[in-house]
Amino acid sequence: MIMIISERFLCDSGRPSNRCTGQPHRAALILARGGSKGIPLKNIKSLAGVPLIAWVLRAALDSEVVDSVWVSTDHDEIERVARVWGAKVHRRSPEVSKDSSSSLETIQEFIRLRPEVDIVCHIQATSPCLHPHHIREALQMITEQGCDYVFSVVRRHQFHWEEVDKKEGKNPTPLNIDVAHRPRRQDWRGELYENGSFYFSTRKALENGLKQLGKIAYYEMLPEYSVDIDVDIDWPVAEQRVLRFGYFGREENAAVRLFLCKVSGCLTNGQIITSVSGEDHVAINARDVAGIHMLQRENIEVQSCGLVQIICYNCYTVKKNTSYVVNRAFRGYMCKIHSLGSRGVSLLIRSVWVAVIT
């Protein structure tokens, strides 16, 4: 018996796609154009130590319900970051990379070039608090409940008023409130708004330009997960939110046995104090010392790396033996102190980074 499989139905690995097995191919797609106007290269800007786009890539990859994860971009650096974080890259054409190009046009180009894709999970890179369970539950509404289009929403308690031209002197009209009977928050369920986190749709719906939709549904996300970044002032708020509600990956049951830290610039407060006699002093943050005690109480060995280095401060070149300062600052805390040259510390930190895990 000879089996012929068309290239149309082969996935990137050369194996038959889900279409051969009767299962729809579900592709997560993140659009990340390089020409962001509000925040330049916003999609790869660091948010809480991680590129913005990486937060949603990690959630998509760990959801385990999508068959492929793609980033559509026209920018080399975005492509590099996307591949580092495990995504495939669709290099979009100049026709859909313009300021006037719509998301729909870009997604339609993607499915034209990827005929194996049956369901597109369009995820916004600017929603860093997305979790894998959001993707799983929303996708089930298409694969199990027969929806053609599913989008994310959030419940808000906001009163709307009609916008009027002040020159006309017309009174604004309330759109969702009786001013004489203004409800308390706990007595009002609020209203649903798109939060822009994701839009899932079938291939057929996209090919029809989302004009002939059958069954539509929304997926409600809790307010703490509904974060959107458009302008600079959104960034610090999003950073605090993601540190508390973001998805940091699968938990691994690993035990930390050794904590290795570079002293200069890490355990110091960034100040150099020179006495009248010419002695150099640095200040050690008491919170760092308390943290070291906490680690030691958990039987974690703490080792500090000192560095003899040249520091330029206020136009004066000062030679500072950090090892001497560190030994004095940390005496009594039972930390092992290592004095290394600049290359030694660089190689050590690069290879070990923060901790040795066994």
Tokens read off for 92: 């979009």
Q: Which residue has the tokens 């597109």?
A: 120
> Exactly one of 91, 182, 257, 328 is catalytic; which is it?
182
Residue 244 bears catalytic tag: no
Rounded CA-CA distance 53/58 in Å is 9
Residues 6+ apart with CB under 8 A from 110: 29, 70, 72, 90, 92, 117, 120
- Are 53 and 43 in contact by the 8 Å Cβ rule? The answer is yes
What are the DSSP E strand ranges found in the chain? 26-31, 46-47, 50-51, 68-73, 88-91, 119-123, 149-156, 191-202, 216-221, 256-262, 273-274, 280-281, 301-313, 316-321, 336-340, 355-357
Q: Which residues pair with 193 in a beta bridge?
A: 154
Catalytic amino acids? 182
